[in-house]
A and B are shown apart, each in its own frame.
Chain A
Amino acid sequence: MIGYILKRLGLALLVALAVSAIAFFLLRMSGDVAIAIAGEGARQEDIELVRRTYGLDRPLVVQYVEWLWNTLRGDFGTSIYFKTDVATLVFAKLPTTLLLGVLSLGFALLVSIPLGVLAAVYANSWIDRLALAIAVVGQALPNFFFALILVMLFSITLRWLPVSGSKTWANFIMPTIALGYYVAPAFMRLIRAGMIEVLSADYIRTARAKGLPTRKVIFKHALRNAVVPVVALTAVQLGFLLGGSVVIETIFALDGLGYLAYQSITFKDFPVMQVIVLMLSVLYVLLTLAADIANAWLDPRIRVA
């Protein structure tokens, strides 16, 4: 098990490194940092001065290695727009995004597991069709549109929840639902499909032959096996959640990493963008790793591999 984790960890580090490189080069190709620093409408010689001062005239590879070296030492650079230390900026926003991610994932699982299990146990019944309808709507509706519907209903018409901000827990309710509903259908369908397959397995018949109550057959013997692929999907869905948080945080002006990403793109704040991309990718890689480990724990047959 330890060897398995170490192997996965090594792989995760390589992936994070590759992503950081790709992100660095892509961002640099998307615009001129010197112009961003000097400001729109700056004179050509000022831009050249900035380029030389910041070492932006050197080859990209050299700049990347320098950036990577600094980042690894904990020096994330300075924000062009906010004029503050990027590390302080990013770490101040990170908890909000993590909280939103965890909450919406929790919401998605809370909705999709019971719904998926019900849909499988009562396959082809009205319950199954209702669950399918909920899933189709969730997948078809763009999350920003759904977020706006929520705002219209709960903030403007009913006046129950605040429209935007991130001061209180009430600010998190709508973003959580909007983001969670966005990823829930994939979970629901996977759980439904997995449960239908598992419920026809021989070991389910064995469990029933033991006289176990239906509840125990479904939740102990079936769900445990049906949930294995769900763990793998969770990692992928968390990626969607992190990406989706850029849109959702911006709509609700939730002061997290996603909102910061939106601002840094708007203001061409390259150092901030780079760190956010790196951060999200490291987070994503770590989550995938956690999913792999959880999988090995759930399915004893994987452990030897």
Chain B
Amino acid sequence: MANSSDIVLEVDGLSVDIRTAGGTLHAVRDISFSVKRGETLCLVGESGCGKSMTSLAIMDLLPKAATKTARRLAFAGEDLSRAGKGRINALRGNSMSMIFQEPMTALNPAYTIGNQLVEAYCLHKKASEVEARERAVFLLGKVGIANAAERLGQYPHQLSGGLRQRVMIAMALMCGPELLIADEPTTALDVTIQAQILRLLADLQRELGIAMVLITHDLGIVARIADRVAVMYAGQIVEEGPTASLFNAPRHPYTQGLIACIPVPGRTEPGGRLGVIPGVVPSLVGEVRGCSFRDRCTKAQQACLDAPPVRETADGHRWRCILENAA
């Protein structure tokens, strides 16, 4: 049985609002989840559903126009929403780190890989440059980069996208974080590299026992490496649960629709049509009332105009729908 000290990240009632010319955009609306040590939580959902904003809010990296509110946003039991800037900086890159979507632009073009790798380690661990470089070489080897020592002197533009993302992963692991947030780490890479990077992430996560939040819109990835899955739609978590339970018995119509969209070898007929969720995501500008999925839901009723209840089963599978089981 997991006790509370195992919880690395606890998010309770997190909302992110973005000021736009057309009004306030409610990018993330009152979401709650937690991640335990050694656990991988996958946040899935389509583009613009608030996945990235959630991760940036946790890391306190939101753009200027965005503001966050939360009942509690705790890292290893410490409430970050009350922490000062200095405290956040002491944690960021040290015990919580992040890997971004775009390895091509996430590294500073003006400095060598080595310079960028050692930076956080020297700062947080008060280590010497020599020690930091040793650790960098060790980690570059670990993420599968050959001739690691020579790579330290290279600039980002001399590396391929896949290599750069490996460097980003090594960089995130430099200080031995307890929490790793990976925001669509493979979206910008080609398919063969995607699989390599994901396997690497999953292996490292298991080996180092870190808590990982993996943000993706690829459900195939999720089924393979997640312990728990949270499905986001229009800024809310509409369903969350253990991976097997969620895939085998999805409760929310949106999750069911998403799973129907995945081609399955053997089950999906060659030349047959994949599932499609009709309609478009509602605008999140201004007040959003009732169930945000009702306009696209085949089972929508009059009651969906009110906020749907959150239902829960014994194994911690939760969903936000008026129906016990939409299937």
Contacts and interface: CB of A to CB of B under 8 A. Distances in A.
Contacts of A224: 108, 110-111
Nearest to A210: B93
A209 B97 CA distance: 7
Contact of B120 (A205, A212, A225, A301): A212
Nearest to B124: A211
Contacts of A201: 105
B92 A301 contact: no
Interface in B78-92: 88-92
A84 interface: no
Contacts of B30: none
A203 B94 contact: no
Interface string A192-220: 00000000011101111111110000000
A205 B93 CA distance: 12
Interface in B83-120: 88-94, 97-98, 100, 102, 105-111, 116, 119-120
A299 interface: yes
B61 A209 contact: yes
Interface string A75-110: 000000000000000000000000000000000000
A199 to B, nearest CB: 10
A299 B88 CA distance: 31
Contact of B106 (A205, A211, A212): A205
B102 A202 contact: yes
B89 A206 contact: no
A212 B100 contact: no
B123 A203 contact: no
Contacts of B168: 206
Contacts of B68: none
Contact of A209 (B98, B102, B155): B98
A206 B108 contact: yes
Interface in B131-161: 155, 157
A202 B105 contact: yes
B59 A209 contact: yes
A298 interface: yes
Contacts of A298: 110
Interface residues of A, number: 19
Interface range, B side: 20 to 34
A210 B119 contact: yes
A210 B120 contact: yes
Nearest to A208: B61
A127 to B, nearest CB: 15
Interface string A282-305: 000000000000000011110000
A31 B293 CA distance: 85
B90 A211 contact: yes
A51 interface: no
Contacts of A210: 92-93, 97, 119-120, 123, 171
A203 B89 CA distance: 16
A263 B61 CA distance: 61
Contact of A212 (B61, B91, B93, B110): B93
Contact of B92 (A202, A208, A225): A208
A221 interface: yes
A57 B123 CA distance: 75
Interface string B196-228: 000000000000000000000000000000000
Contacts of B119: 207, 210, 212
Contacts of B107: 203, 206
Contacts of A299: 109-110
A293 B207 CA distance: 47
Contacts of B123: 210-212
Nearest to B59: A209
A305 to B, nearest CB: 12
Nearest to B86: A213
Given A203-B105, A209-B98, A301 B93 contact: no
Nearest to A225: B110
Nearest to A213: B89
Contacts of A225: 108-110
Contacts of B106: 202-203, 205-206
A224 B97 CA distance: 24
Contacts of B111: 221, 224
A205 B99 CA distance: 11
Interface in B171-205: 171
Contacts of A202: 100, 102, 105-106
A212 B89 contact: yes
A35 B304 CA distance: 99
Contact of B100 (A206, A221, A300, A301): A206
B108 A207 contact: yes
B272 to A, nearest CB: 40
A207 B116 CA distance: 9
Given A209-B97, A210-B120, A300 B105 contact: no
8 contacts: A201-B105, A202-B100, A206-B106, A206-B116, A207-B108, A209-B59, A209-B98, A211-B88
Interface of A: 201-203, 205-213, 221, 224-225, 298-301
Q: Which 4 A-B pairs have the closest CB atoms?
A: A210-B93, A211-B92, A211-B93, A202-B105
Given A202-B105, A207-B119, A210-B93, 5 more contacts: A209-B59, A210-B97, A210-B119, A211-B94, A212-B89
